[in-house]
Structure formats: C-alpha cells, structure tokens
Amino acid sequence: MVSTAAFALVALLGGVQLLETVLDRLNLRYGARAVREADEWVRSALDVDDPEEMLAYQRSKTVLSNLQSWLGVLVVLAVVVSGLYGDIATALSETGLPSVAQGVLLLAAAVVAGRLFSVPFDLYETFVIEERFGFNNQTPLLWLRDLLVGTVVALVIGGVVAGAVLLAVESLPALWPVVGWALVVGFSLLMMVVYPRVIAPLFNDFEPIESGELREAVDDVFERAGFTCEQVYEMDASRRSSHSNAYFVGFGKTKRVVLFDTLVEQMDREAIQAVLAHELAHWKRNHIWKQLAASAVQMAVVFAFLWWVTTSQWVYAAFGLPAETYAALGLGLLYAGPLLSLSAPLTNQLSLAHEREADDFAAGTMGEIASMTRALETLAGENLSNPFPHPAYAAFHMTHPPIPERIRRLREQHDGDGADPDVDVPPSAT
C-alpha cells in the first residue's frame, strides 16, 4: 500500500508539473513565432520598441518559474515519500497539545518553510529579471519588509481558517466537511471587505481621489454606467514596480475602486475611463457573486474529496501518519492541488466569459471601442505581456482572453466604432 500511494502521489504531482513544463515550452515557441510575424503591430499598436525584449522577458520569467516549480515538487515528494512528514506529524501528536493546536502548528511550519524556499527565487525575479527589464522599483529593505509582513499575514489568516476547520473536525466529526466548507466560503466573503481595508494598506498607500481632472473622469464614467461609489483610490504601485493595473473590490457600502498610479501615468483620460468601466462591469453584471458561487461549488468538491481521504485508513498506513485528521488533511490537499490544476480549462471558462462581457460593457459605456482598445494595447505593451499565448497554455492558465482576440472581438461586436481602420489586429500564429 505504501508503494502504491507513494507512486500515485509522485505520478500526480510529477505528471501535472511535466504537463505545465510542456505547456510553457509550447507557449514560448508559439508566442515567439507570432510576435515576430506581427512585428509591425507589436511595435506600432503596443508601442514596444524591441519585440525581442518582450520575448526575452517572457522567457526569463518562465524559466525561473519552471525551476522553482520543479524543485518545489521534488522537495515536497522527498518530505512526504521519505516518511519525514509522518515523523513530524507523529512528533506533534506526542506533544500533548490539543489536536487543533497541533494542526495549526503543522500549517505554520509549512507556511514558513514555503516562504523560505521561495526567497532565492523571489530575490532573483525582483532584483535580476524585473530590474533588467526596467520594472523593479523596490529596495532590498522594502522587499524584506514585504516578506516579513506577508509571512505574518499568511500565518494569521491561515491559522484562523485552519483552526476553525479543525475545531469543526473535533466538535462535529460527522458534519465537519459541511461546516468547514461554510467557514471557508464565509471567510472568502469576509475577505472581500477585510482585505482592501486591513491587509492591502499594510503594503501600499491608498490616496482618495476626491478632486481634480482624474476625479472628474471617474465621476463621468460612473454617471454613464449608472454606478455610485464614493471610495475611489489611487495606489502607489510605482513604489515597487512599473507594472500597471486596476481593480474593483467589495460590495454594498464597502465597494471601492483602485487605480494603480502607474496606470494613471501611462494612459490618457478616455483609456482610464474604459478600464474603469470594464472593472465596474464585474459588479454591475454580478460577476463577483457568480465567481464566488463557482468557487463555493469547487470548494464543496474539494471538501468531499478531503472527507473521503481522511476517512480512508490507507492514507494513515501508507505514509506512517498518526491518527490525527489534520495529518491526513495535509496529504489530501497535496492530491487535490494537481486535480484542481487539471480542471482549470473548465473553471476558466466562466472568467473568460465575464471578461468578454466586461469589455462589451466598457465599449457601451464609452460609446466607442477606441478607448478600450488603447487601454488593452497599453497594458500589454507596458507590461511586456505575451499577446499570443498558445491555445493549450491559455486554456490552463489564462482567465482573460488574449489581447488581440479581445480587440478583434470588440470590432466585430461593435462594428469597429471608433477603431483605427488603418491598424489591423494580427491573427494568432499559424
């Protein structure tokens, strides 16, 4: 039984990681060919002076990510298959601490170990790759502060959620999967309010946009969209990176809009309004609630799987675990993670549909597609994003349609209203 369970875990983790590596390799080759074929469009529409720089950036990020992922899989398998995980769980069970405390300590150890493992990769990505391509604005001291604060936040949040679920396991042994599922879903809802007000300010400053041309632009698009929101903020993203973005978060009186200061600097008024209208669509079209519902269904499946794992004696015998549910839960999550990755092409469909609907909403709000088109081109060019992902890679990894596809769709759906007729959007590579 030990060899069978270990083989299954190795096959699952290793197999999914191998799939990821193949997809990454396909994506790099496909994207390189497409970018070179569309050299003129990349230079003119995306305002990228050297398309080869875009390809080099994607290649550097992908190679580092692959190396980190493979080493991570090997370390996890070594810890579990060698019996070290079982020994750690056994040692915890012999401390005499309450079972809930043992489980929280095991989680805390995993969080700290994971953070320490990622340190060299994060350092290289930030101060070598991001620095080389002109994105990094972080100092080593700020990076260290983020690491420490992020670790504490992860420990607190993880400890609270894990403690609540394990308490349900101990108090309601026959119902804990249902209670645990409800706790996780409820916590996700709570985080929509807590994150922007408590956690995000630990890392960035948020200045209210209360007056001036930017506020006038925001109010104008709010009026067009039939939306009311007093909490509009500009975030000092440039303190860490020149990458740009925007997001909408919260619900009811707690909803807020956040614009990166880099986005405000890189885009003109109408493009910013189009991005804002796109973000507002996620609220106006109930995308937030639909995504939450989809996540709740996914979590229900995960908890059903964890229930089966923890009530199956094979997992305890196979990995030398003590008779503690938290120990089996840890193994169950290792099996569940790759399975969720394999289901990504299905779960991503909802997000893709929402992004297309949000693009349509932005075009309708602005009364033309030129603003949204410029915004999409600026985001791709300024961030050196790969505009031509391989279809298989996109199916597993992308929650947003590729930029050229979004622009072509806007032209088709809205009769090219406001588009530049002299600028053709290239198709994907052949």
Where residue 235 falls (left for φ over 0; alpha for ψ -120 to 50; beta otherwise) is: beta
Q: Who wins on pLDDT, 226 or 65?
A: 65
DSSP 8-state class, residue 414: T
Choosing from 24, 125, 279, 382, the catalytic residue is: 279
pLDDT classification of 422: cutoffs 50, 70, 90: very low
Strand order in the sheet with 256-260: 206-208, 232-235, 256-260, 246-249
What 3-state class would DSSP assign to 294?
helix
CA–CA separation, 327 and 169 (whole Å): 12
Task: Tell whether the torsion through CA atoms of 133, 136, 137 and 140 is positive or negative.
Answer: negative
Q: What is the mean pLDDT of residues 306-327?
A: 91
Percent of the chain with pLDDT over 90: 73
What 3-state class would DSSP assign to 137?
coil
Closest listed residue to residue 429, CA positions, set 26, 13, 2 = 26
Give the pLDDT score at 228. 73
Q: Does 424 qualify as catalytic in the annotation? A: no
Q: What is the mean pLDDT of residues 72-78?
A: 95
Choosing from 359, 368, 377, 382, the catalytic residue is: 359
Rg (CA), the chain: 24
Give 6-15 pLDDT, tens digit per residue: 888 999 999 9
Give 51-62 pLDDT, tens digit per residue: 999 999 999 999
- Residue 253 pLDDT exceeds 80: no
Q: Does 279 qualify as catalytic in the annotation? A: yes
What 3-state class would DSSP assign to 225?
helix
Q: What is the mean pLDDT of residues 91-119?
A: 95
Say if CB 205 and CB 236 are below 8 A apart: yes
Q: What is the mean pLDDT of the chain?
A: 90
Give the pLDDT score at 357. 95
Give 335-380 pLDDT, tens digit per residue: 999 999 999 999 999 999 999 999 999 999 999 999 999 999 999 9
pTM over 0.75: yes
- Residue 395 pLDDT exceeds 50: yes
Apex 103 CA angle, 86 and 73, nearest 5: 50
DSSP string, 41-96: HHHHTS--S-HHHHHHHHHHHHHHHHHHHHHHHHHHHHHHHTTHHHHHHHHHHTT-
Helix (H) or strand (E) holding 390: none
Give the pLDDT score at 421. 47
- Residue 197 pLDDT exceeds 90: no
Q: What is the mean pLDDT of residues 148-171?
A: 95
Q: Who wins on pLDDT, 64 or 3?
A: 64
Neighbours of 4 (CB within 10 A): 10
Give the pLDDT score at 5. 80
Q: Which residues have a Cβ under 8 Å from the Cβ of 109 and sit 6 or more positions away?
A: 88
Give the pLDDT score at 306. 94
Give the pLDDT score at 417. 57
Strand pairing partners for 256?
249
Q: Who wins on pLDDT, 178 or 208?
A: 178
Percent of the chain with pLDDT over 70: 95
- With tokens 């909802």, the residue in question is 350
Closest listed residue to residue 388, CA positions, set 378, 403, 400 = 403
Helix axes 99-124, 140-171, angle to 10 degrees: 150
